[in-house]
Amino acid sequence: MTLCRPDVLNAQTPEMWRAMHEFSRELPGDVRVVVVRGEGRSFSAGLDLAVATGVGRGGTTGGALAELAALPPEECAERIAGFQAGFTWLHRPDLISIAAVQGHAIGAGFQLALACDLRVLADDAVFSMAEVMLGLVPDLAGTKRLVELLGYSRALELCVTGRRVDATEAAALGLATVVVPRPELDAAVHDLTAAVLAGDRNAVVEIKALLAGAAGRTPAEQQRAEREAQTRRMRDLVGLGE
């Protein structure tokens, strides 16, 4: 899935979020890996401010943010839930999602990278959770992922300062699966995809579910989940699965 607005560094709009959700609904059932990319020199510079605020359209003001704010609170929240769906499908247990990140991944761009299971970064990649600079909060399902990856304190620091994190720091923090020179980004993504596809699909699905749910389980619950998953795998391998 490629964001293709290179002239504005793949800045995102509500229409794009709806299209991303629709893309997920049209995926063939045999797809195992989804790679998310940005066309051009940046992954995504975040929210398209011209669309969000209306600035740049002959001096008009308003835009998508004003339209959302004018809705009754429950309707506004429901509209945002629809936007989130453009990101959260990347969490699906039957898929491994990989973000191929070059250049800027700011705000919504950072959250899109976080929505993916794995992140391959070019050495010029820069992350920033910049919503605070607009007086907003990250609301595209990125906050939980950030806390899970970094812990509360570091996630808080990044979100309330909006500071930029380069590829070297991203690797040190655990935000990057791997960092490679920019010319090697496509090859690194290809190699990672091939490695994922080399594994048994049903085993990969079970492993993702085990790890994704681990934080919410007690040790005993996690051990039970492992036993149950392994039982399903063994029965399937000898032809006794459902």
pLDDT in tens, 162-173: 999 999 999 999
- The helix/strand/coil state of 98 is strand
Distance CA 162, CA 155 (A): 10
How sure is the predictor about 54, in pLDDT bands with cuts at 50, 70 and 90? confident
How sure is the predictor about 32, in pLDDT bands with cuts at 50, 70 and 90? very high
Q: What pLDDT sits at residue 63?
A: 87
Taking the model in full, what pTM does it have?
0.94
Quickly name the fold that domain 2-197 has. Answer: 2-enoyl-CoA Hydratase; Chain A, domain 1 (3.90.226)
Tell which residue, 100, 135, 112, 121, has the closest CA to residue 165: 121
To which residue do tokens 């594994």 refer?
199
Long-range pairs of 17-25 with CB within 8 A, sequence gap ≥ 24 = 17/82, 17/83, 17/85, 17/86, 17/87, 17/140, 18/82, 18/83, 18/86, 19/86, 20/86, 20/87, 20/89, 21/82, 21/85, 21/86, 21/89, 24/86, 24/89, 24/90, 24/92
Mean pLDDT of the chain: 95
Contacts of 238 (CB under 8 A, 6+ apart): none
**Contact call for residues 82 and 21 (beta carbons, < 8 A):** yes
Q: Which two tokens stand for residue 73?
A: 């609170």
Q: What pLDDT sits at residue 106?
A: 98
Half-sphere exposure of 31 (CA within 13 A, CB side): 16
Residue 61 has pLDDT above 70, yes or no: no
What's the pLDDT tens digit per position in 192-224? Answer: 999 999 999 999 999 999 999 999 999 999 999
Distance CA 142, CA 119 (A): 14
Residue 58 has pLDDT above 50, yes or no: no
Q: Centre a 10 Å sphere on the Cβ of residue 122 and count the other Cβ atoms it contains.
A: 20
